[in-house]
């Protein structure tokens, strides 16, 4: 973990209430896709923990949805503004687990899968991605994702792609994978983990600190209590007690 000031290079709307922000500066403490950063939003006491969408030398991209007052303010931030960030937080995805990876993103849970897909691409593997959402308004970054993945889109209302949820989509498309990586709504992760034990889930939680000090985000697992911010956010699907 490192406390750094990052500069907003870009902050653009990419979907309904969904924004992509590029931050530049020292991001060297980000080690794996699936980690998160914790941002001080001026005017609010607690930091905002946001998934690393993608990262590289000197930059980190975050994809966020306006859900509360803090993210609403973030969406108005202009290029050039400096943000106080804790970077290199959490335990990200382990890409050594899959030879034939399946990525499953639900809604804004697509965010960390972008960097993960890129990491697989760099290993010479093109992962399958099932991207589910309520409607086409929540399906973002399609062009980029199609380049990185074998993309399957599904929506609850059928407004884009397969009509149905991610599990129905996986089954209907008869997808071949040996291990999956998922991020999305709690219910989706729960059903996914019950349908397929061979994968991992990236959880979200309201956090106090984001670095393991306050126990504000501890969940129960088969191996005792674990902190979403420290041992997580990525957990083996079979260890989480939903």
> Is residue 24 within the footprint of other proteins (CB under 8 A)?
no
Report CA-CA distances (Å) from 122 to 46, 59, 68, 119, 240: 36, 18, 35, 5, 30
> Is residue 46 within the footprint of other proteins (CB under 8 A)?
yes
> Of the ranges 18-26, 100-108, 161-169, 205-213, which one interacts with other proteins (CB under 8 A)?
205-213
> Of the ranges 98-106, 118-126, 167-175, 200-208, which one interacts with other proteins (CB under 8 A)?
200-208
Q: Is 115 or 210 the residue whose CB approaches other proteins more closely? A: 210
Contact 20, 61 (CB under 8 A): yes
> Is residue 207 within the footprint of other proteins (CB under 8 A)?
yes
List binders of other proteins among 211-240 (CB under 8 A): 211-220, 225, 230
Q: Is 78 or 206 the residue whose CB approaches other proteins more closely? A: 206
Q: Is 119 or 234 the residue whose CB approaches other proteins more closely? A: 234
Closest CA to 165 of 142, 188, 147, 148: 188
> Of the ranges 50-58, 90-98, 141-149, 201-209, which one interacts with other proteins (CB under 8 A)?
201-209
Q: Is 10 or 223 the residue whose CB approaches other proteins more closely? A: 223
> Is residue 160 within the footprint of other proteins (CB under 8 A)?
no
Q: How many Cα atoms occupy the beta-carbon half-sphere of 218 within 13 Å?
A: 11
# residues contacting other proteins (CB under 8 A) = 26
List binders of other proteins among 61-80 (CB under 8 A): 70
> Is residue 85 within the footprint of other proteins (CB under 8 A)?
no
Closest CA to 220 of 212, 209, 230, 228: 228
> Of the ranges 21-29, 58-66, 145-153, 202-210, which one interacts with other proteins (CB under 8 A)?
202-210
Q: Is 99 or 222 the residue whose CB approaches other proteins more closely? A: 222
Q: Write out the residues near other proteins by the rule CB under 8 A.
A: 1, 3, 40, 44-47, 70, 86, 205-209, 211-220, 225, 230
């Amino acid at each position: 973990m490192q406390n750094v000031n990052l500069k907003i290079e870009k902050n653009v709307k990419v979907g309904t209430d969904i924004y992509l922000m590029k931050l530049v500066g020292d991001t060297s403490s980000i080690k794996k896709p699936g980690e998160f950063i914790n941002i001080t939003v001026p005017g609010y006491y607690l930091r905002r923990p946001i998934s690393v969408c993608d990262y590289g030398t000197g930059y980190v991209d975050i994809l966020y949805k306006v859900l509360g007052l803090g993210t609403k303010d973030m969406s108005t931030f202009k290029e050039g503004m400096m943000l106080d960030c804790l970077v290199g937080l959490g335990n990200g995805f382990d890409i050594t687990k899959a030879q034939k990876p399946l990525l499953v993103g639900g809604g804004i849970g697509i965010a960390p899968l972008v960097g993960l897909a890129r990491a697989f691409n760099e290993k010479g593997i093109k992962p399958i991605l099932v991207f589910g959402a309520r409607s086409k308004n929540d399906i973002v970054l399609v062009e980029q994702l199609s380049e990185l993945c074998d993309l399957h889109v599904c929506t609850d209302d059928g407004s884009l792609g397969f009509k149905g949820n991610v599990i129905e989509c996986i089954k209907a498309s008869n997808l071949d994978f040996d291990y999956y990586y998922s991020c999305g709504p709690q219910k989706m992760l729960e059903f996914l983990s019950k349908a397929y034990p061979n994968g991992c889930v990236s959880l979200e939680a309201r956090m106090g600190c984001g670095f393991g000090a306050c126990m504000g985000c501890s969940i129960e697992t088969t191996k005792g209590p674990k902190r979403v911010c420290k041992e997580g956010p990525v957990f083996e699907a079979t260890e989480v007690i939903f």
